[in-house]
Chains A and B, each alone.
Chain A
Amino acid sequence: MAGELLQLTITQAGAALAAGDFSAHELAQAHLDAMESARGLNAFTAETPERALTMADAADQRRAQGETLGPLDGIPIAVKDLFCTEGVLSTAGSHILDGFTPTYESTVTRNLWAAGAVMLGKTNMDEFAMGSANVTSHYGPCINPWQASSGDSVGKDLVPGGSSGGSAAAVAARIALGAIGTDTGGSIRQPGAFCGVVGLKPTYGRCSRWGVIAFASSLDQAGPLTRTVRDGALMLGAMAGHDPMDSTSVDAPVPDYATALTGDIKGMRIGVPAEYRMDGMPGEIETLWRQGRDWLEHAGAAIVDISLPHTKYALPTYYIVAPAEASSNLARYDGVRYGLRVDGEDMTDTYEKTRAAGFGPEVKRRVMIGTYVLSAGYYDAYYLQAQKVRTRIANDFRAAWEVCDVILTPTAPSAAFAIGEKMDDPIAMYLNDIFTVPASMAGLPAISVPAGLSADGLPLGLQLIGPAFAEETMLRTADVLESAAGFTAKPSW
Chain B
Amino acid sequence: MTATTTDTAPDHLSGHVTTRIGHNQKDLVEGATGPWEVIIGLEVHAQVTSEAKLFSGASTAFGAAPNSQVSLVDAGMPGMLPVINGECVRQAVRTGLGLGAQINLRSVFDRKNFFYPDMPQGYQISQFTQPIVGEGRITVDLPDGESFEVGIERLHLEQDAGKSIHDQHPQKTYIDLNRSGVALMEIVSRPDLRSAEEAAAYLSKLRSILRYLGTCDGDMSQGSMRADVNVSVRRPGEELGTRCEIKNVNSLRFVRQAIDYEARRQIDILEDGGEIDQETRLFDANRGETRSMRSKEEAHDYRYFPDPDLLPVVLEQSLVDALKVGLPELPDAKKARFIDAYELSAYDAGVLVAERETAEYFEAVVDPEGAKRDPKLAANWVTAELFGRLNAADLDIAGSPVAAAQLGGLIDLIADNTISGRIAKDVFAAMFDSGKDAGDIVAEKGLKQITDSGAIEALIDQLIADNPQQAEQYRGGNTKVAGWFTGQAMKATQGQANPQMVNQILKDKLGG
Contact = CB atoms under 8 A, between A and B. Distances in A.
Interface in B302-356: 303-305, 308-311
A218 B113 contact: no
Nearest to A383: B305
B158 to A, nearest CB: 16
B76 A328 contact: no
A100 B75 CA distance: 14
A45 interface: no
A187 to B, nearest CB: 16
**Main SS class of interface, B:** loop
B492 interface: no
Nearest to A335: B117
Interface size class of B (residues with CB under 8 A): 20 to 34
A371 interface: yes
Interface in B99-158: 111, 113, 115, 117, 120-123
20 contacts: A84-B79, A90-B78, A209-B81, A210-B81, A212-B79, A214-B309, A217-B309, A247-B81, A328-B122, A328-B123, A328-B305, A332-B76, A336-B117, A336-B175, A337-B76, A348-B115, A374-B305, A376-B301, A379-B303, A379-B305
A331 B81 contact: no
B82 interface: yes
A337 B75 contact: yes
A117 to B, nearest CB: 19
**Main SS class of interface, A:** loop
Contacts of A218: 308
Nearest to B83: A247
B77 interface: yes
Contacts of A288: none
Contact of B78 (A102, A217, A248, A374): A102
Contact of B72 (A104, A247, A371): A104
Interface of A: 83-84, 90, 92, 97, 100, 102-104, 106, 209-214, 216-218, 244-248, 324-325, 327-328, 330-332, 334, 336-338, 347-348, 351, 371, 374-376, 379, 383
Given A248-B311, A331-B122, A84 B78 contact: yes
Contacts, number: 98
Interface in B50-78: 72, 75-78
B84 interface: yes
Q: Top 7 A-B pairs ranked by shortest CB distance?
A: A331-B122, A374-B303, A217-B308, A218-B308, A211-B79, A332-B76, A213-B78
A3 to B, nearest CB: 37
B80 interface: yes
B78 A332 contact: yes
B77 A102 contact: yes
Contacts of A210: 79-81
Nearest to B300: A376
Contacts of A327: 113, 303
Contacts of B79: 83-84, 102, 106, 209-214
A375 B81 contact: no
| Most chain A beta-carbon neighbours within 10 Å: one of B111, B175, B308 | B308
Given A328-B123, A331-B115, 19 more contacts: A83-B79, A84-B78, A102-B77, A104-B77, A209-B79, A214-B78, A216-B308, A217-B309, A247-B81, A247-B84, A328-B111, A328-B122, A328-B303, A332-B120, A332-B121, A337-B77, A337-B120, A374-B303, A383-B305
Given A84-B79, A247-B311, A324-B305, A332 B122 contact: yes
A469 B304 CA distance: 31
Given A247-B84, A337-B120, A374 B113 contact: yes
Interface string B172-216: 010100000000000000000000000000000000000000000
